[in-house]
Structure 1
Amino acid sequence: MEGWINLYKPKGISSSKATLILKPLVWPNKIGHCGTLDLEAHGVLPVAIGNATKFVDLVSNQRKKYFFTVQFGACTDTGDSAGKYVETTNIIPSNEDMCKVCDRFLGTITQTPSKFSAIKINGQRAYKLARSEQEFEMPSRQVHIYCLKLVACGEGWASYEVECSKGTYVRSLAEQMASCLQSLGFVIDLERLSVGKFCANSALSLDLFKCPHPSALVNLKSNLLNLEFALDDILVLSIAESDAQKIAYGSSIDAPCSDDNSVCVKYNGKIVAIGLVKDKRFIPKKVFNNNLNLKEDSLDVDYTRKES
């Protein structure tokens, strides 16, 4: 079993726990998810099964869209309505200013995520460290905002839609926008609308996989997306058998194309490897030897070697 499940994660459950609900249905195959959603957020959570787990990093790096609503006039320690009030203000931006502020956050911006985020600090989730009152520093990061627009607004609140790069922390963005308006703000609703090709309007409820095992397994198999679903925007190269054999052992091969960080190579219509092209050479990063029917099962591993 291999492929993707476009899962809709509800509020109140972590991304890991949501994925674990599907794990008994796919055992002994591997399972993983792309792009962690915080506990109080809901929306698209792509789940990878079998060989699709080798594409998790690739999918996680794709653009994401979110819908979020900001309550102005206060801030909380978590950046959302689940936290405790830290500060309040009587300064509430006008509807016009709520709209104009969007243009000021387009392009590359610097963020310092909340200590109550799901970001890992030395292998531990930041929110777990924060709740146990441990002292630690959150590193700043640069992210890219491709599109930010006002969807609706009212007295003291505004809803926005944002398209952004990997690593964008929407609750921090809401706080930054409020600060830019000389106010305070926190998120009262956060929904992930898409991760690359995975969209909320076609995502599956977690309840489909909580029913008795036979029914849940039928639901999973009937909704399993094929391995290549997430690769439509990635350059694909078809190769000869001799080149496929070289890749099977981690060697690079000639590639008649310009440099690209995400390339998929196929032999006989099946994915052989994903990697990058540099100086007209394809350098494999993850290899799928089971698609070559090789005898050396031990070769079905991730390769990170670069040729000098």
Structure 2
Amino acid sequence: MPALIHVTDPMAARLPPEWAGIGSCPLPVAAGAATDLLGCHALVLTVTGRLIAEIDFTQHTCEPGTLLWLRPGQAVRFEKPAAARGRAEQTGPDPDGEVPGDARDEKDEPGPAVTIIFRSGLFAPDELPGLTPDDPDGPAREPLTLPDPDAFRAAFERLARDTEGVPGAAAAALLRHELAALLLRLSLLDPGPAAAGHVESRTFERFRRRLEEGYPHTRRVEDYAAELSCSVRTLTRASLALTGRTAKQVVDDRVALQARRLLAATPLSVAEVGRSLGFGEPTNFGRFFHRETGLSPGQFRARFTTDRPSGIPGQRPPVD
């Protein structure tokens, strides 16, 4: 199993323990932290101070009491607030290495965060009523401001303490029950997209799930339509109704997102990234990527460096 958590201090990378599939870890925050790919689910609760979280290239400022549910495969980076960094850079440290008082703002300094990690497949699809944890379009896809952060903090901290207990069947069952209760509470606060209640919703849901499996192999809407026993027009109508994008645009959006993830967070060459997404020729991949993002793959990758300290997300093995 690959490392799921990279940390900025000499501690070893952390994994959810095999015996339970649930663990906890520190959340290192570093200015200029690298973007990495998350190898497991991570629930991050900010406790004090602001935290900057960049999730799939969208930046979020998380105030105290904000909860993040990060999914496997997402590109994630955690940083100190830019305002605090900017003032520190302008003012400079004092002789003792501390940021001068007028360059500090306690609210801008990243505070503790409680982080729970758990592996994919921990719960069966129908095990939790109305909730499939491994669904990428499930609850809390965006940062969630909790109505009772103290209660959630207590639940997080209790679960984190229990992950450090003596391994065993009873301890594993306890962790599963605690995590299940936490996830169900989140689903009640933010249930995610409405359940499929009409034909177009059901069609798009089937299409979306099949796309998650098929995007590395085909970008042809005709292939997805054939697998789902419907027409291209049906898929396009459903996609437009649910997202405002055509079926072809939905497919290309997913491929482009994965390309950005791999370019930003892995050492794969541009050609290797293209091949992993079904492009036989680097030039074809380059044209596709430029059309979708406005940048060449090299220009996009240049925005990210690999010699910076990593944050929480672990990197998956390169795709052959």
TM-score interval w.r.t. the shorter chain? under 0.3
Structure with bigger strand share is 1
Structure with bigger helix share is 2
TM-score between the two structures when normalised by the length of structure 1:
0.23
